Amino acid sequence: MAEMDLFADERAADLAEAEKLRREIRHNEYLYYVLDAPEITDAEYDRMMVRLRELEARYPDSIPADSPTQRVGGRASSQFTEVRHLEPLLSLGNVFSAEELRAFDERVRSGLSAGSKVEYVMEPKIDGLACSLIYENGKLVRAATRGDGVVGENVTANVRTIRSIPLTLKVPEGEAVPELLDVRGEVYMPRQAFMRLNEQRAERGESEFANPRNAAAGSLRQLDPQVTASRSLSFFAYYLVGEGAQPKHSESLALLARYGFKVSENYKVVENIDEAIKYIGDFNELRQGLSYDTDGAVIKVNDVYQQRILGATGKDPRWATAYKYPPEQAETTLEDIDWRVGRTGVLTPTAVLTPVKLSGSVISRATLHNEDFIRAKDIRIGDRVVINKAGEIIPEVLRVVAEKRTGDEKEVEIPNVCPECGWRVERQGEEAAIRCTNPHCPALGREGLIHFVSRDAMNIDGCGPSVINALLDAGLVRDAADLYSLRKEDLLKLE
Ligand code: IVH
């Protein structure tokens, strides 16, 4: 009997410790993924997760579904099931100028009783894909893509892997937990994650995503949640439907933030259309520096009662519309093509351009992806080319201005030897990539070492590409193992 008690005590202590860890981990995930303001190191976070997994392994029957360890669960399925939305997922009409915005404001005011005061909420238009999240009694039970607006795809297992989405609402103690909440928002891929993903794909000879929106859509529609989990997706909440909705949209946004969702810090309540137009100009400056893509601003009538009176036409509400910024493009000359070898031996072409200003920065290089891209666009050296920012961040050659050709342009020569080591290169089967065939190509070593010390791998502080280059040039390292036998005297010899 005494022995039984001992076990019971130990079990109770373990379960209490596990619950405490879950609370701490959730709180720190909120600080990191939602507020972007971590208070602990990655190592401390990892230690808590390891301990929690250890405790949960002892009592597998007592693991709650909303434990931070349970984000990636379930196995790959063969297809997505259909879900009927509680209320249709509306889309938005578009406007492209201040005049059209004023016309929108006129339509809104003429739809309401004469002299009504109309307040608007201005928000960034996030470039991702719409998603509806259903919370029952505070727990995330279902997530669905828009689909045709009435019926979407059930992507719950994938959405659970997005760490800025709470599995349980953060309802302050003493406050009622809403029975049913339908949170709408945008799943998106931050620019950095997008660039990293494309780099990895290029090195593996896989096709790159054209922009972060396509990457987000492709990542959310993965049949294996494990893949989605590896893709660093995030979520901005921008609309609350049904029971939880507040009388003012801005109050719903504030409530969503309190429940633990990421809500754009750039939304603003404005008093009239002039202020709305000013916001659009100001936000155009601001959005260049954001860590995610926006393709416009959304204007919404703040008063939900007024929203109801206005209603919708087909798929678009009459109380909201999207202002789309014109895509930024610039024309310049393609002076040369630089072929570089990545750490997996793939040769990637980069356009060397006459420097030109685009979206507030000076651009002198643009990606050309691979040989097929160059052929499809019939790109020649010396061409005048139009560049834009694919996914708003990486410049890409959009097209050649063929009418400006002088006849002096030169065909692009696809290398048949590696620019690093001179060995033969080859294209295999259906692959778009050209690879160096030398298993000992120095680029493999250099690029491989740069990757090895980078944040994605061993995360060695203070050791970036220039240090690796210096170490290689000085003959101090040849491979990753050599990094661990470096002595202080060796390093002091370097610049
Ligand atoms: S509101 C009825 N707000 O843009 C409300 N949509 O082009 C409908 N989007 O379908 C949506 N940012 O996927 C809203 N702040 C924002 C948004 C936003 C991005 C997306 C959403 C929508 C599409 C329309």
pLDDT digits (tens, 9 = 90+) for 258-278: 999 999 999 999 999 999 999
For the cut 80, the answer to whether the pLDDT of residue 367 exceeds it is yes
Residues 441 and 443: their CA atoms lie apart, in Å, by 5
**Sign (positive or negative) of CA dihedral 175, 179, 182, 188:** positive
φ and ψ at residue 116, rounded to 5 degrees: -65, 140
Buried b (16+ CB within 10 A) or exposed e, 271-293: eebeebbebbeebbeebeebebb
Closest CA to 336 of 405, 407, 399, 385: 385
Q: What is the mean pLDDT of residues 234-245?
A: 92
Please tell me the distance between residue 69's alpha carbon and the centre of ligand 1 in angstroms. 31
Burial (CB < 10 A; 0-12, 13-18, 19+), residue 355, is: exposed
Q: What tens digit of pLDDT does each residue of 464-491 get?
A: 888 888 888 888 888 788 888 888 888 8
Q: What is the mean pLDDT of residues 188-194?
A: 94
Percent of the chain with pLDDT over 70: 98
**Sign (positive or negative) of CA dihedral 464, 451, 390, 202:** positive
Q: Are 103 and 331 in contact (CB under 8 A)?
A: no
238 lines ligand 1 (CB under 6 A): yes
Residue 305: count of CB within 10 angstroms of its CB: 11
Residues 398 and 172: their CA atoms lie apart, in Å, by 50
Q: Please provide the CATH number assigned to the domain covering 442-492.
A: 1.10.150.20
CA 265 to chain centre: 17
123 lines ligand 1 (CB under 6 A): yes
For the cut 70, the answer to whether the pLDDT of residue 392 exceeds it is no
Residues 38 and 28: their CA atoms lie apart, in Å, by 7
- Give pLDDT, residue 2: 59
Q: What is the mean pLDDT of residues 353-379?
A: 88
Please tell me the distance between residue 210's alpha carbon and the centre of ligand 1 in angstroms. 21
Residues with Cβ within 8 Å of residue 220, at least 6 apart in sequence: 129, 131, 145, 155, 158, 159, 187, 228, 233
Minimal-distance CA residue to ligand 1 atom 17: 125
For the cut 80, the answer to whether the pLDDT of residue 393 exceeds it is no
Query: What are 128's two structure tokens?
Result: 């991702």
Q: Are 173 and 117 in contact (CB under 8 A)?
A: no
Annotated catalytic residue within 117, 125, 262, 493: 125
- Give pLDDT, residue 1: 53
Please tell me the distance between residue 442's alpha carbon and the centre of ligand 1 in angstroms. 48
**Cα separations in angstroms, 306 against 247, 268, 315, 432, 435:** 10, 18, 18, 54, 61
Question: Where do the structural domains in the chain lie, given as residue ranges?
Answer: 2-70, 82-324, 330-417, 442-492
Residues 92 and 52: their CA atoms lie apart, in Å, by 44
**Cα separations in angstroms, 93 against 123, 128, 235, 320:** 15, 16, 22, 8
CA 74 to chain centre: 23
- Give pLDDT, residue 130: 97
135 lines ligand 1 (CB under 6 A): no
| Position 250 confidence tier, pLDDT thresholds 50, 70, 90 | very high
283 lines ligand 1 (CB under 6 A): no
The residues with which 182 forms a beta bridge, in sequence order, are 134, 241
Q: What is the mean pLDDT of residues 49-66?
A: 95
Percent of the chain with pLDDT over 90: 67
Residue 125 designated active-site: yes
Residues 102 and 143: their CA atoms lie apart, in Å, by 36
Q: What tens digit of pLDDT does each residue of 395-446 get?
A: 889 999 999 999 999 999 999 999 988 999 998 777 788 988 887 888 878 8
- Give pLDDT, residue 3: 63
Q: Is domain 330-417 given the CATH code 3.90.1200.10 in the classification?
A: no
Minimal-distance CA residue to ligand 1 atom 7: 92
Residues 89 and 185: their CA atoms lie apart, in Å, by 10
Please tell me the distance between residue 232's alpha carbon and the centre of ligand 1 in angstroms. 21
Please tell me the distance between residue 91's alpha carbon and the centre of ligand 1 in angstroms. 6
Please tell me the distance between residue 130's alpha carbon and the centre of ligand 1 in angstroms. 7
- Give pLDDT, residue 159: 97
Q: Are 131 and 235 in contact (CB under 8 A)?
A: yes
For ligand 1, mutation pick of 183, 283, 298, 313 (most atoms within 8 Å of CB): 298
For strands 346-358 and 434-436, give the pairing.
Answer: antiparallel
- Give pLDDT, residue 205: 73
Span between the terminal Cα atoms of the chain, in Å: 72
The whole-model pTM stands at 0.79
Instruction: Give 349-352's long-range contacts (Cβ < 8 A, gap of 24+).
Output: 349/374, 349/412, 351/379, 351/385, 351/397
Q: What is the mean pLDDT of residues 159-188?
A: 95
Q: Please provide the CATH number assigned to the domain covering 2-70.
A: 1.10.287.610
Please tell me the distance between residue 277's alpha carbon and the centre of ligand 1 in angstroms. 18
Across all residues in the chain, what is the average pLDDT? 91
Residue 124 Cα: closest atom of ligand 1: 15
Under CATH, what is the fold of the domain 82-324?
D-amino Acid Aminotransferase; Chain A, domain 1 (3.30.470)
Residue 11: count of CB within 10 angstroms of its CB: 13
More confident residue, 310 or 440: 310
320 lines ligand 1 (CB under 6 A): yes
User: In 3-state terms, what secondary structure has residue 20?
Assistant: helix
Residue 312 Cα: closest atom of ligand 1: 2
Residues 295 and 128: their CA atoms lie apart, in Å, by 10
Q: Are 456 and 446 in contact (CB under 8 A)?
A: no
122 lines ligand 1 (CB under 6 A): no
For ligand 1, mutation pick of 86, 95, 96, 125 (most atoms within 8 Å of CB): 125
For the cut 90, the answer to whether the pLDDT of residue 243 exceeds it is no
Minimal-distance CA residue to ligand 1 atom 16: 125
Q: What tens digit of pLDDT does each residue of 102-155 get?
A: 999 999 999 999 989 999 999 999 999 999 999 999 999 999 999 999 999 999
Please tell me the distance between residue 110's alpha carbon and the centre of ligand 1 in angstroms. 24
Minimal-distance CA residue to ligand 1 atom 3: 238
For the cut 90, the answer to whether the pLDDT of residue 181 exceeds it is yes
- Give pLDDT, residue 194: 92
Residue 91 Cα: closest atom of ligand 1: 10
322 lines ligand 1 (CB under 6 A): yes
Please tell me the distance between residue 125's alpha carbon and the centre of ligand 1 in angstroms. 6
213 lines ligand 1 (CB under 6 A): no
For ligand 1, mutation pick of 96, 238, 315 (most atoms within 8 Å of CB): 238
For ligand 1, mutation pick of 87, 92, 306, 392 (most atoms within 8 Å of CB): 92
